Amino acid sequence: MKMKNSPILLSILFTVLALIFPTIAGVIVSVKNITSLSSICLIQFIFTTAGVLITLWIMKKSKFSFQDFGFRKFKAEAWIAVIVVSELVSFLNGITDKDGFSAQYVLILLLFVIAVGFCEELIFRGLVFKYLSAKGLKVAIIGSSILFSIGHLANLFSGQDFLMTLLQVTYAFLFGLVCAEIVAKTKSIIFLIVWHAMHDFIAFLTDSEPNVLSVSIYVFHCLVLMGLAIYFWRALFTKKDRVGSIINKGKSESYV
């Protein structure tokens, strides 16, 4: 089977691509024994930006247009407010004093999370979702979510707490599920890039050692995502006429 005719194999390769850049950056940080958070974020930003450029190049060389990959406007709806409010709940955990909480650290962190938002959304809700759509919309939604969550299992090998890693993997799957459903509904990844960057930025500013509050916030976020996932799933698949409309529209939008 030729690779270009295998959406699943291509999606796996795209997932590997997403893991390469943070891995290289992590190796450099480890080998050089870099401890400054500003320096670590800067190195991660550089390699993640490289990932963005390579992903954009792959998109340009594909048979699809950038608009097909989700670079288009979308209509703001009430569910956006639910997402924003749920993210702000994380501030209940307090703002940490990382790297002296300097302006330099915050600026570099902001650049880093924006790059991550672009890179991961372009790959998972852009390339992976697009190519898996050849197998059907449900496969694209669930498959891209599973692949997105797999990368978070690597935290176990870095010695991170098992419970927090399990919660992160669960959150990543639900986050990917909702994001994929939003792409299916709006045909746009613009909000997803902003949401992804916002979530990571808040997480870095408020992240702390595992405790009752931080775990509770994680669980709360997972419950919100579960609610959103059900809402979007019902909107996309519950009624037969909606299914037919989505399939026909998907074909016209070159989603398969």
The token pair at 143 is: 């498959």
Torsion of CA 20, 21, 26, 31, to 10 degrees: 90
Torsion sign across C-alpha atoms 94, 91, 146, 28? negative
Token digits of residue 175: 């986050």
Residues of the chain falling short of pLDDT 70: 1-5, 98-101, 154-161, 207-209, 239-256
Burial classification of residue 74, based on how many CB atoms lie within 10 Å of its CB (0-12 exposed, 13-18 middle, 19 or more buried): middle
CA–CA dist 252, 132 (Å, integer) = 16
**Over the stretch 162-193, which tens digit does the pLDDT of each residue have?**
777 788 889 999 999 999 999 999 999 999 99
Q: How far is C-alpha 39 from the geometric centre of its chain's CA atoms?
A: 23
Contact 147, 20 (CB under 8 A): no
Name the region of 165 (left: φ>0; alpha: ψ -120 to 50; beta: rest): alpha
Instruction: Tell me what pLDDT residue 53 has.
Output: 97
Q: Using an 8 Å Cβ cutoff, are 206 and 95 in contact?
A: yes
pLDDT computed for residue 246 by the predictor: 46
Those residues whose C-beta lies under 8 Å from the C-beta of residue 70, and which sit 6 or more positions away, are 125, 126, 183, 187, 188, 189, 190, 192
CB atoms within 10 A of CB 195: 20
What local confidence, expressed as pLDDT, does residue 168 receive?
Answer: 83
